[in-house]
Amino acid sequence: MGNQKSKIGNRQSKIIRSLVYVVGDNIDTDQIIPAQHLNLVPTIPAEYRKLGALALSGLPADYPPFVKPGAMQAEYGIIVAGRNFGCGSSREHAPIALGAAGIRAIVAESYARIFFRNAIATGEQYPCETAVNLRTIFHTGDEAEIRLDREEIVHVKSGKVFKLKSLGAVMPVVSAGGLFGYARKTGMIAH
């Protein structure tokens, strides 16, 4: 059950159901997209796809490949992470690379502020938070269902349900495709 979402995707859906990829604490932006790839321009479609193919390529070798060799997207649509996800240098390429790889949501115990803001601004994925260490429940390859309207994530095989912190005002911004999409949708800027 791969995730075949394009950048625009189905932003109106309140349910995201996909395989999960699990990472630990302090996953930094160099692990998400190594600095040598920051010359790729996300507004060029071929380079956007290349960012997706390179997403999480900076993780240590003990992690399974996030994107299979030769693929442009991951088979995962959800990342389950620990604390301080997206720490390190400020780069909007990080959430963009994950979005290009097909990630529609990240569920972390906490985020680095700049990554959280960049995820919202780009509209690439929903930056969900949980007070629970879901890394003890979910394993890479498990199936999850995020119910955005109910603010919960479900471990599909076990049926266990876990509460997510409210996205509040973030939800319509990400659903609109980021800050510019939201500004256009609400009439703040002209189409």
Q: What is the structure's pLDDT at 1? A: 36
**How many CB atoms sit inside 10 A of residue 135's CB?**
16
Q: Can you give the pLDDT at residue 59?
A: 97
66 CB-contact burial (10 Å; exposed 0-12 / middle 13-18 / buried 19+): buried
For position 8, what pLDDT does the model report?
A: 32
What's the confidence (pLDDT) of residue 89? 86
Contacts of 149 (CB under 8 A, 6+ apart): 14
State the pLDDT at residue 13: 65
Q: Give me the tens of pLDDT residue by residue for the chain, a chain 191 residues long.
A: 333 333 334 445 699 999 999 999 999 999 999 999 999 999 999 999 999 999 999 999 999 999 999 999 999 999 999 999 999 987 899 999 999 999 999 999 999 999 999 999 999 999 999 999 999 999 999 999 999 999 999 999 999 999 999 999 999 999 999 988 888 888 888 87
The pLDDT of residue 147: 97
**In the chain, which ranges are continuous DSSP H helix?**
29-32, 45-54, 93-100, 113-122, 170-175, 179-185
| Amino acid 190: pLDDT | 81
Beta strands in the chain (DSSP E): 15-22, 76-80, 105-108, 126-129, 143-147, 152-155, 160-163
pTM above the 0.75 mark?
Answer: yes
Q: 127, 108 in Cβ contact below 8 A? A: yes
Q: Give the per-residue pLDDT at 87.
A: 97
Max CA distance (Å), the chain: 48
> Cβ of 43: how many Cβ atoms within 10 Å?
7
CA dist 189 and 125 (Å) reads 22
Tell me which long-range contacts 69-73 makes (C-beta under 8 A, separation of at least 24).
73/2, 73/3, 73/4, 73/100, 73/101, 73/102
Positive or negative torsion for Cα 54, 93, 89, 135: negative
Given the DSSP bridges, would you call strands 76-80 and 105-108 parallel, antiparallel or unpaired? Answer: parallel
- Cα 36 off chain centre by: 21
Structurally, what CATH architecture does the domain formed by 15-185 represent? Answer: Alpha-Beta Barrel (3.20)
The encoded tokens of residue 143 equal 């199936």
**Per-residue pLDDT, 158:** 97
